[in-house]
């Protein structure tokens, strides 16, 4: 049974410019601004007979920018002039983003609310919120240029240093000694790529899993339309083959080469069931209107901690012939419930919203 989805044309937005600094913190831009995943999404939707507006009449399979519009005012106006009635926000959102003016006029969207993304892209803000709501977060400290030489760690080495507004595992480093940490911090501040403060947390040595949480709504699973009244999780994906203790950035190593969905026995274990519930609570706390991906890891006792909530999970997918190894973590998880990448996208499109 298929539930009809809107025949209204969709346009994919990609990130054309770096977001403004927030309290001195910078979020580095991804090369290409997610135009690769935007093109994967646009192509897959079109293959499902969903009308997709594109900047050119006959987009070339291998040219990402043929499929997506820049997330600038002129780019969005171009998309609307091409007939788009739903904007797919496959970009980094923030307060004051050009798309806000169009959302205020009642244009439909797939993706997060800009103000929520702005707020919860900040790891310190988000993890403090989760901690306040009794969700397990690794102990952490904020180190700025000002307290670089007089901060106190309340937890032992090894530790992880990471950007406060990071992107995947880019810039994330493990330090085993104070000297190593000092060198990493000095390097991060000298580069000035991430801004004036760095997030440092206890290193968790156990198994890493990532959980994609979907918002409430109507979904078609195994040809049956289901109403999900609460946030719900796709099956957990295990990460392996870490490099220096960190899952490598997906721009360097395709996630299909270091990730797999856990088997049924592990998925049904009490620890995993509890962890999924905790991730669903976290998604509710940040008001997610589209999938969020939460990275979690066990400590030496085997207890799971939520260490990274991603408001914009990577959404690449193995649809175009030259990108058959490009399934994202969320796409891998979706396959476990019988969804192809296209099924995942069509179900995301069903959750479109208006202000």
Alpha carbon of residue 195 to chain centroid: 21
Q: Where are the domains of the chain?
A: 10-120, 139-202, 208-339
Q: Which residues of 111-133 are buried (b: 16+ CB within 10 A; e: fewer)?
A: bbbbebbbbbbbbbbbbebbeee
CATH class (in words) of the domain with range 208-339:
alpha beta
Region of poorest pLDDT, from 43-52, 139-148, 156-165, 244-253: 244-253
5 pLDDT tier (thresholds 50, 70, 90) = low
93, 112 in Cβ contact below 8 A? yes
Please, what is the average pLDDT of the chain?
Answer: 93
Cα(267)–Cα(276) distance, integer angstroms: 10
Cα–Cα nearest to 108, from 316, 291, 290, 292: 290
Cα(115)–Cα(97) distance, integer angstroms: 9
Domains 139-202 and 208-339 share a fold: no
- Three-class SS of 72-110: CHHHHHHHHHCCCCEEEECCCCCCCCCHHHHHHCCCEEE
CA torsion through residues 218, 222, 224, 229, sign: negative
pTM of the model: 0.95
- Which CATH number applies to 139-202? 3.30.1490.20
In this prediction, what percent of the chain has a pLDDT beyond 70? 97
- Cα–Cα–Cα angle for 67, 171, 161, rounded to 5 degrees: 140
Q: What is the pLDDT of residue 215?
A: 98
Q: What is the pLDDT of residue 166?
A: 85
Residue 293 has pLDDT above 50, yes or no: yes
249 vs 279, residue with greater confidence: 279
């Amino acid at each position: 049974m298929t539930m009809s989805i809107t025949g209204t044309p969709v346009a994919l937005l990609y990130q054309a410019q770096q977001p403004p600094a927030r309290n001195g913190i910078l979020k580095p831009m991804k090369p290409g601004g997610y135009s690769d995943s935007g093109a994967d999404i646009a192509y897959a939707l079109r293959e499902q007979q969903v009308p997709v507006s594109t900047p050119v009449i006959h987009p070339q399979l291998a040219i990402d920018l043929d499929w997506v519009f820049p997330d600038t005012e002129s780019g969005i106006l171009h998309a609307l002039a091409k007939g788009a009635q739903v904007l797919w926000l496959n970009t980094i959102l923030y307060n004051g983003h050009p798309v806000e003016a169009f959302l205020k006029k009642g244009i439909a969207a797939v993706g997060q609310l800009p103000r929520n993304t702005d707020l919860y892209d900040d790891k310190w803000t988000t993890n403090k919120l989760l901690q306040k709501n009794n969700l397990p977060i690794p102990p952490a400290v904020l180190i700025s240029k000002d307290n670089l030489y007089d901060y106190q760690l309340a937890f032992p080495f090894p530790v992880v240093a990471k950007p406060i507004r990071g992107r995947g595992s880019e810039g994330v480093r493990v330090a085993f000694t104070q000297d190593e940490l000092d060198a990493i911090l000095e390097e991060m501040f000298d580069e000035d790529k991430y801004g004036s403060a760095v997030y440092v947390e206890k290193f968790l040595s156990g198994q890493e899993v990532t959980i994609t949480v979907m918002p409430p709504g109507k979904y078609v699973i195994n040809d049956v339309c289901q109403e999900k009244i609460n946030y719900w999780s796709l099956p957990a994906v295990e990460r392996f083959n870490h490099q220096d203790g960190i899952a490598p950035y997906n721009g360097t190593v395709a996630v299909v080469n270091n990730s797999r969905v856990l088997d049924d026995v592990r998925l049904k274990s009490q620890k995993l069931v509890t962890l999924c519930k905790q991730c669903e609570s976290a998604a509710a706390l940040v008001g997610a209107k589209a999938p969020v991906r939460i990275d979690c890891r066990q400590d030496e006792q085997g207890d799971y901690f939520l260490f990274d909530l991603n408001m914009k999970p990577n959404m690449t997918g193995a649809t175009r012939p030259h990108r058959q190894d490009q399934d994202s973590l969320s796409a891998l998880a979706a396959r476990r419930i019988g969804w192809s990448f296209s099924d995942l996208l069509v179900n995301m499109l069903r959750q479109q919203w208006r202000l």
